[in-house]
Structure 1
Amino acid sequence: MKKHKVSRFFFIVSFIGLLFYLLYFILGLAFSRQLATIARYPLTSLDDFISKPILVVKNSLSELRHLNNTFLENKQLRKELRKQNLSQQYFEELLAENKRLKNLLSLSATVDKWVSAEVISRNPYQWYDSLQIKTAKKVLQPNSLVLSGEGIIGKVTSANRQAARVELLTCGKEVNIPIKIVDKNKIIYGNLKYFQIEEKRMLASEFNSNEAIDLGAKVYTSGLDGETQANLPVGKVIGFKNSSDKLKRQLLIKLFADFDHLDNVLVVGIEK
């Protein structure tokens, strides 16, 4: 009986010991995992702390390279576009100049005595007052009319064998060039007087008739002064200032010539 009690006591003690051992093992395993997690967290945080700025810098450098490449591409495109625009502008200028030369050639076929000349000097401060032309060693007669491809632009005021000075119609001074107004089946005669600078139009008066003239009637030189050649294009009628006195009657004329672009001209008159 006593031996049976001792065996039972050892069994209980062994069971409790085993239970404590299992509990210790389970708690130890859980603690070691927690400890590993705790130990690993600072390392992970440190790695994130170091790697994130590096990643940001790498991304920034990549963006900078992309932006720089885009800038260089845009710069090249702007350069090519600028060259293309300049080429297009130069081409258009050549076309315009070619058209003016054709007009000049066509006009030269309608006059008897003429000399071609090239504009060699024009003062920006007196752009609409005067210019100088190269005359190919020919001395021109003062008061000879000068024409662009569209119509008369002025008169020769002085000349030598190298150049001649041309006073433009747009200078505002009185020019007194005899003209005729051609309107359908009627013609009236008068004088081209002066350019109204503010209104950008020519004024003509001293007519031989008070006969009605339509807007748009063409104006030509008449040659009635015995010096200038007749039938050179001048402009067209754009307005009236009628008067009972035909000599005081005024017609407003828009000139045919383009005074902004003058490069080659014809001088119509007699050499000295």
Structure 2
Amino acid sequence: MPSLFRRKGLMTILIGFIILVALIGFSMRDRSELSVPEKFLQDSVGWLQSVFHAPVQLVDNTYQNVQNMLNVYDQNEVLKNRLDEYKGLIQENQQLKKDNDELRGTLDKTESIRDYTPIQGTVIARSSDRWFKQMTINRGEEHGVEKNMAVITGEGMVGKVQSAGAFHSNVQLLSGFDESNKISSWIVREDEDNAFGLIEGYDSESGRLLLEGISLDEELEEGDVVMSSGLGGVFPSDLRIGTVDKVENDRSGLTKTAYVEPFADLFDITHVMVINRDMQTVSEEEQEAGEEQ
């Protein structure tokens, strides 16, 4: 009996194998249509693949999106850093250009005031409470700076030395001048003699210097140039101060007051020159002797 069951089992396996081979051969033939079992099997496999593929694809897409976001963030940080560097370079270039222009201006001014001894200096501090009236420069008595010496930029006069230390000095700006700090000045006019006046103060509302004591007979026009006269003995002559902006009679009605627009920007100063009052002019005899040679 056992041998009979074994023979039936072997026969069953053999028949199944033959049927499998036949099905494989049948499925491998070139056919225009699939059989119903093949269609069912193909659809079942496809459906299972879709079921498993969807979450896998979702996870993969999510991972790719996160990876792309991280890459975009990193790239954005790099671009922001480069943009900051670019802005810094622009600002540095602008500052260098500004310093270069100021230095060129002071150099040109040095060549134009050879009758005086210029002392080059740099502004190192401006106090917050006296920003509009005072500043500190890196030149002092050891460099030849003395109290009351005129201070100019390449554009024009900005003030005078208020106090001089050994290596640093405080400069009183024109915007801090009052009646105790006067500048004897000439108003230069075309085809007319110079008119006399005194810089005696500063109008903070208009940002103009006050040129007082002008004779009522003097006819001034907007744009007339104001320069130091040198008559007071404190400041050298021919230092550019500003231009006439407006003229009106003073309160007494005996003289005129001119509002003067300074040539120099009193609130943006970096490089200055301190002008030595001791003029180093060449005498007429020396000039004539030089010409004869």
Give TM class, smaller chain.
0.7 to 0.9
CA RMSD of aligned residues (A): 2.8
Equivalent residue in structure 2 for 1:231, among 234, 238, 242: 238
Equivalent residue in structure 1 for 2:176, among 140, 152, 171: 171
Q: Determine the structure 2 residue equivalent to 1:195.
A: 202
Q: Determine the structure 2 residue equivalent to 1:158.
A: 163
1:183 and 2:189 aligned? yes
* Cα deviation, residue 270, structure 1: 3.9
Identify which range, 101-110 or 74-83, moves more after superposition: 74-83
Distance change >3 Å, CA 223–CA 208, structure 1 → 2: farther
* Cα deviation, residue 144, structure 1: 1.4
Gap regions ≥5 residues in structure 1 = 1-32
How big is each residue's C-alpha offset from its partner over 1:134-183, in whole Å with a ceiling of 9 and x where there is no partner?
22513533221111111111111111222211111123644311111112
* Distance in structure 1 (CA, Å) of the matches to 2:76 and 2:254: 67
* Distance in structure 2 (CA, Å) of the matches to 1:46 and 1:199: 86
Equivalent residue in structure 1 for 2:213, among 206, 210, 214: 206
CA contact (8 A) 1:145 1:155 kept: yes
How big is each residue's C-alpha offset from its partner over 1:216-270, in whole Å with a ceiling of 9 and x where there is no partner?
1111111111221111011111112136977531111111112333222111234
* Distance in structure 1 (CA, Å) of the matches to 2:260 and 2:207: 9
Q: Using structure 1 for the length normalisation, give the TM-score.
A: 0.76
- Name the % identity: 24
Q: Using structure 2 for the length normalisation, give the TM-score.
A: 0.71
Identify which range, 86-95 or 242-251, moves more after superposition: 242-251
Q: Determine the structure 1 residue equivalent to 2:104.
A: 102
* Distance in structure 1 (CA, Å) of the matches to 2:71 and 2:144: 63
Q: Determine the structure 2 residue equivalent to 1:13.
A: none
* Distance in structure 2 (CA, Å) of the matches to 1:102 and 1:151: 14
Aligned ranges 1:36-75 → 2 under 5 Å:
48-75=50-77
Gap regions ≥5 residues in structure 2 = 1-35, 279-293
Number of aligned positions between the proteins: 239
CA contact (8 A) 2:215 2:256 kept: no
Q: Given residue 151 of structure 1, which amino acid in structure 2 is its aligned partner?
A: G
CA contact (8 A) 1:144 1:269 kept: yes
Helix, strand or coil at the partner of 1:162 = coil
1:117 and 2:121 aligned? yes
* Cα deviation, residue 49, structure 1: 4.5
How big is each residue's C-alpha offset from its partner over 1:38-96, in whole Å with a ceiling of 9 and x where there is no partner?
9x76x866654443233122112212222222222232222223222222221221121
* Distance in structure 1 (CA, Å) of the matches to 2:244 and 2:224: 5
Q: Given residue 162 of structure 2, which amino acid in structure 1 is its aligned partner?
A: T
Q: Determine the structure 2 residue equivalent to 1:264.
A: 271
Q: Given residue 181 of structure 1, which amino acid in structure 2 is its aligned partner?
A: I
* Distance in structure 1 (CA, Å) of the matches to 2:189 and 2:67: 73
Q: Determine the structure 2 residue equivalent to 1:148.
A: 153
Q: Given residue 68 of structure 2, which amino acid in structure 1 is its aligned partner?
A: H
